[in-house]
Amino acid sequence: MSIKFDFHCHSDYSDGALEPERLIDYALDREITHLALTDHDSVSGLAEAHKYITENALPIRLINGLEISALTEYGEVHIVGLGIDYQCERLNQALKIQQEKRWERASLIDEKLCKAGISGVLDKCQQDVKQVITRSHIAGVMVKLGYVSDRQQAFKKYIGKQGRIKISKDWVVLDKAISLIHQAGGVAVLAHPTRYPLSNRKLAFLIQDFAQSGGDALELSYPSLNADKISWLKIQLENNQLLASSGSDFHYPDLKWTDLGRFPHIDSNIPHVVEKLIQA
């Protein structure tokens, strides 16, 4: 059997557009055989996706995952966990706290938006959001209410890296995020390393810290990476004896450049998490 995998994507339990069952249908359309669902600070879509696969005997393996927001001395990063026991109590307790912090942050962002003349965002999010609130939802609501023309504008002007509203949150720290994933039996992956606003020098230190804190793998293949960046990341991976991981970070069917199953090809002799995850 030939394998087609994707180890990073989102359902509507966080900021993806599709509910878990529709995400599975979408993956089957793209002939994906192994899919990791990795919602932001949530494992709630996994049981639903498993049930759908089992009841319909669908030809796809679901790998239990999540994407934890974590604090480091280089700022906020995302740690993907793969192959976890999603019923792990410690993990679920920590996720409950992260989810509460996300709503607190949304409320603080809403206060600042109100001061900038943008009102009603939090109310609408409270009606619309299924579980985990993200800045994507806030951006989506700002579009719906007519304050910005698209989500990108909301990030650019207000809630993105260069936007005027900056709220940092005391997310779980890096070591803790990694140990939560390990306690749940999973593999900890530093997600999309080049998307953090860091110089190469600082990014190299972040990757080193991640490895020294027990991290297992580095995303080496995701949309928007070019060959030069992949080569640079591969050196960091080798220096720190990390495995590679690959994923699209799929959120919405209409964003074709991050479509499910789509990411750059990497050399098959690079040690990769796929070897651990597809046998289990």
- Closer Cβ to ligand AMP, 151 or 272, answer by number: 151
Stretch that binds ligand AMP, among 107-115, 129-137, 171-179, 226-234 (CB under 6 A): 129-137
* Number of residues engaging ligand AMP in binding (CB under 6 A): 11
135 near ligand AMP (CB under 6 A): yes
- The gap from C-alpha 256 to its chain's centroid, in whole angstroms, comes to 17
- Closer Cβ to Mn ion, 58 or 195, answer by number: 195
Q: Quick one: which of 38, 64, 72, 136 contacts ligand AMP (CB under 6 A)?
A: 136
Q: Quick one: which of 12, 38, 40, 188 contacts ligand AMP (CB under 6 A)?
A: 40
The Cα-based distances of 134 to 39, 40, 91, 105, 253 in angstroms read 11, 8, 19, 9, 18
Rounded Cα–Cα distance for residues 67 and 53 (Å):
22
- Closer Cβ to Mn ion, 15 or 209, answer by number: 15
Beta strands in the chain (DSSP E): 5-6, 34-37, 61-72, 75-82, 172-173, 187-190, 217-221, 243-246
- Closer Cβ to ligand AMP, 162 or 268, answer by number: 162
Stretch that binds ligand AMP, among 27-35, 43-51, 131-139, 236-244 (CB under 6 A): 131-139
Interacting partner of 6 out of Mn ion, ligand AMP, none (Cβ under 5 to 8 A depending on kind): none
134 near ligand AMP (CB under 6 A): yes
| In the complex, least distance from residue 106 CB atom to ligand AMP, rounded to whole angstroms | 8
41 near Mn ion (CB under 5 A): no
| In the complex, least distance from residue 134 CB atom to ligand AMP, rounded to whole angstroms | 3
In the structure encoding, which two tokens stand for residue 3, read together?
A: 């394998």
- Closer Cβ to ligand AMP, 10 or 272, answer by number: 10
Cβ-based burial of 156 (10 A; exposed 0-12, middle 13-18, buried ≥19): middle
Rounded Cα–Cα distance for residues 180 and 188 (Å):
9
Say which DSSP state 158 is in: I
Cβ-based burial of 117 (10 A; exposed 0-12, middle 13-18, buried ≥19): exposed
Taking CB under 6 A as the criterion, which residues in 160-199 touch ligand AMP? 160
251 near ligand AMP (CB under 6 A): yes
Q: Quick one: which of 249, 250, 260, 263 contacts Mn ion (CB under 5 A)?
A: 249
- Kindly calculate the radius of gyration of the chain based on its CA atoms and give it in whole angstroms: 18
The answer to whether residues 178 and 215 touch, using CB atoms and an 8 Å cutoff, is yes
15 near Mn ion (CB under 5 A): yes
- The gap from C-alpha 86 to its chain's centroid, in whole angstroms, comes to 16
Rounded Cα–Cα distance for residues 9 and 53 (Å):
17
Interacting partner of 245 out of Mn ion, ligand AMP, none (Cβ under 5 to 8 A depending on kind): none
Rounded Cα–Cα distance for residues 220 and 242 (Å):
10
Taking CB under 5 A as the criterion, which residues in 54-83 touch Mn ion? 67, 78
Rounded Cα–Cα distance for residues 261 and 155 (Å):
26
Residues that bind ligand AMP (CB under 6 A): 15, 40, 69, 134-136, 151-152, 155, 160, 251
Residues that bind Mn ion (CB under 5 A): 15, 67, 78, 191, 249
